[in-house]
Amino acid sequence: MATSRRDFLRTASLLAATAGLGSLAQEAPEKRRNVLFIASDDMRPQLGCYGRKKMVTPNIDRLAAMGTMFARAFCQQAVCSPSRTSLLTGLRPETTRVHDLQTHFRGILPDIVTLPQHFKNHGYYTQGFGKIFHGGLDDPASWSEKSWHPKAPGYLKPETLAFMQERRKELTEAGKLGKRENVLERDPKTGLPLKLAPPDTRLRGPAWEDPDCGDSDLGDGKTCDEVIRVMGEVKDKPFFLACGFIKPHLPFVAPKKYYDLYPEGTLELADNPFPPKDVPAIAMHTFGELRAYSDIPDVGPVDDKKALELIHGYYASTSYVDAQVGRLLDALKENGLADNTIVILWGDHGWQLGEHGIWCKHSNFETSCHVPMICYSPDQKAPGQPSNALTEFVDIYPSLCELAGLPVPEALEGTSFAPLMDRPDLPWKTAAFSLYPRGSTMGWSMRTDRYRYTEWGAWQQEPQFRELYDHEADPEENVNLAGHPELAATIAALSQQLHQGWRAARPQKA
């Protein structure tokens, strides 16, 4: 039987790792696929390639036309650090026990091998740029070189800077902006921060700004510049370059030319700015992250005028990131790397733009958990064909290993989606799993082909609350059906499936 190139590389790498034949990888480095790993903070899949034509994203759409757009990909927890931790370790939040923005996974799993660390251990040059791990919780063991972060202003308009200066003075005089040690616990051997203090009062300006500036006057443009520079330096060795864009995270600061892509009157408010009917209160939140900005009310809803401004800012910030993605793809081509580099783009979770009357993420709703995930491999057999299979962020680690020909660690809790890049319509997972804690109560959520089902309460105990949304009849999740007695059998079956967990939902091996 003929051996595929992917099987050959996987076997060769495994032999090198287990038999000490390190020279095998060194003899033919040109045959080892590079990885360009592109992260975008708070990017929801409201992109052209996802059928949302009002969003101007020609470069992300170009990547989708080259590779595979996963139409139904989901994060494991809709907030930055837990999602990124899960993705980069290949383990679910139940295993990492990282559910907040202050806990480093090394304090819980000190010997875990992260995705970039695995590539580094197999002879790759690895470096992170911008936001890959959550701020303050970087992982030096993952990188060949120290992570690089841009030095750039958060705002640029003179009136905003004047406001910020006055606000800084007020907070300082009130004793609310003093310096304090924000690291509560460090690794005694390495000094790595393992536990951070909750955030103190932060100086926030407006939620959006449209300075008339160049891309590289802001942080994400500078990050793109540096990735391109290093790419040129390391192009003759196998590399794993991780490029982390901050936008479209708040504040929505992007060059004016990206705001100009969306003229007044072209944007619309969310169709469903109200809570789902019969939703339990625990499923909702008051979007405190957004309220920290100076132009957002402390309580109550965001009015329509401000909502349209925020939507405009989110769209512009996404188009700004899209332009940087285009620069990266062009740089691969210019450096002769396009035919030897795997490219993956992901946004760490979705984002509410007024759906259900809420903003930001921090929920188990589809709009918070549904994520963009696009992957290109020079070896894939179905370029440009999207996949509607249920996939998850924990799948990225084993997938990149398989695509690059590296051994896949046995402890990973995802499933390689590499087969879907050859046959996008393969029978696949029966469910994708997410969770979100609300105080001391956990919300356990599952997306099947038709339903989103959520239980709030202790695991394997009678739930305090349930949610059930039928995506065939109600794709916006506007009616919670969990209290409908005629659906009791459906709810019982979904509850059983939820508690059987992700292992039971994996695709059957051919």
Tokens of 38: 């592109």
Residues whose CB is less than 8 angstroms from the CB of residue 396 and which lie 6 or more positions away in sequence, other chains included: 87, 90, 115, 344, 346, 373, 414
Tokens of 482: 């969990």
Amino acid at 327: R
- Residue-by-residue DSSP string for 182-220: -EEEE-TTT--EEEEPPP-------SEE--S--GGGSHH
Strand, coil or helix: 497: helix
- Residue-by-residue DSSP string for 85-138: HHHHHT--HHHH---SSSB-GGGTSTTPPPHHHHHHHTT-EEEEEESSSPTT--
The span from the first CA to the last CA of the chain, in angstroms, equals 17
Strand (E) or helix (H) holding 172: helix 158-173
Tokens of 411: 């402890």
Residues whose CB is less than 8 angstroms from the CB of residue 382 and which lie 6 or more positions away in sequence, other chains included: 68, 421, 422, 423, 424
- Catalytically annotated residues: 80, 134
Tell me how far apart the alpha carbons of residues 388 and 376 are, in angstroms, rounded to a whole number. 16
Strand, coil or helix: 299: coil
Tell me how far apart the alpha carbons of residues 163 and 205 are, in angstroms, rounded to a whole number. 8
Helix/strand/coil (H/E/C) assignment for every residue in 243-265: EEECCCCCCEECCHHHHCCCCCC
C-alpha separations of 74 from 173, 297, 348, 433, 437 in Å = 45, 31, 9, 8, 17
